[in-house]
Amino acid sequence: MWENVSGYLNYWLAAVLLLIGLYGMLGQPNLVKKLMAMNILQVAAILFFIALAEKTGATAPIEVKGLHDVGAYVNPLPHALMLTAIVVGVSTTGVALALLIRIHRHFGTLEEPEILERMRL
Partner 1 sequence: MTAHLPVLIVVLPLAAAVAVPLVALAFPKAAFAVACLALAAAGVASCAALSHVLAHGTLRYELGGWAPPWGIEYVVDPLSGGMGALITLIAVCVVVYAGPRANGGSAARSGMFHSLFLLLVTGLLGIVLTGDMFNLYVFLEISSLAAYALLASGGIRGTVATFRYLIVGTIAATFYLLGTGYLYALTGTLNMADMAARLTAVVDARAYGVAVVLTVIGLAIKAALFPLHGWLPDAYTYAPAPVTGFIAAVMAKVSAYALFRVLYFVTPAEGASAQALMLLGWVSVIAVLAGSILAMAQQDIRRMLAYSSVGQMGYIVLGFALGTPAALIGALLHLFGHAVMKGCLFLVVGGIQWRTGIYKISDYAGMGRRMPLTMAAFVVAALAMIGLPPTLGFFSKWYLLSGAVEARAWLFVAALVLSSLLGIVYFFRVFEFAYLKTPEAGQGTPPRQELPLHMLAPILVLTAAVLVFGLLNQQVVGGIIRHALPGALAP
- What's the CA gap between 109 and 34, in Å, rounded? 14
Which CB sits closer to partner 1, 55 or 102?
102
- The CB-of-3 to partner 1 minimum distance in angstroms stands at 16
- Residue 114: alpha-carbon gap to chain centroid: 28
In the complex, least distance from residue 64 CB atom to partner 1, rounded to whole angstroms = 22
The residue among 67 and 114 lying less far from partner 1, judged by its C-beta, is 114
CB 41 within 8 A of CB 21: yes
| 44 or 74: CB nearest partner 1 | 44
What residues make contact with partner 1 under the rule CB under 8 A? 18, 22, 25, 31, 34-35, 38, 41-42, 44-45, 48-49, 52, 78, 81, 84-85, 88, 91-92, 95-96, 99-100, 102-103, 106-107, 115, 119
**Residue 14 CB, nearest approach to partner 1 (Å):** 9
3-state secondary structure 35-65: HHHHHHHHHHHHHHHHHHHCCCCCECCCCCC
Minimum CB separation of residue 65 from partner 1 in Å reads 24
Kindly tell me which of 63 and 66 has the beta carbon lying closer to partner 1: 63
Cβ atoms 88, 39 nearer than 8 A? no
Cα–Cα separations (whole angstroms), residue 21 to 2, 17, 33, 120: 25, 6, 10, 29
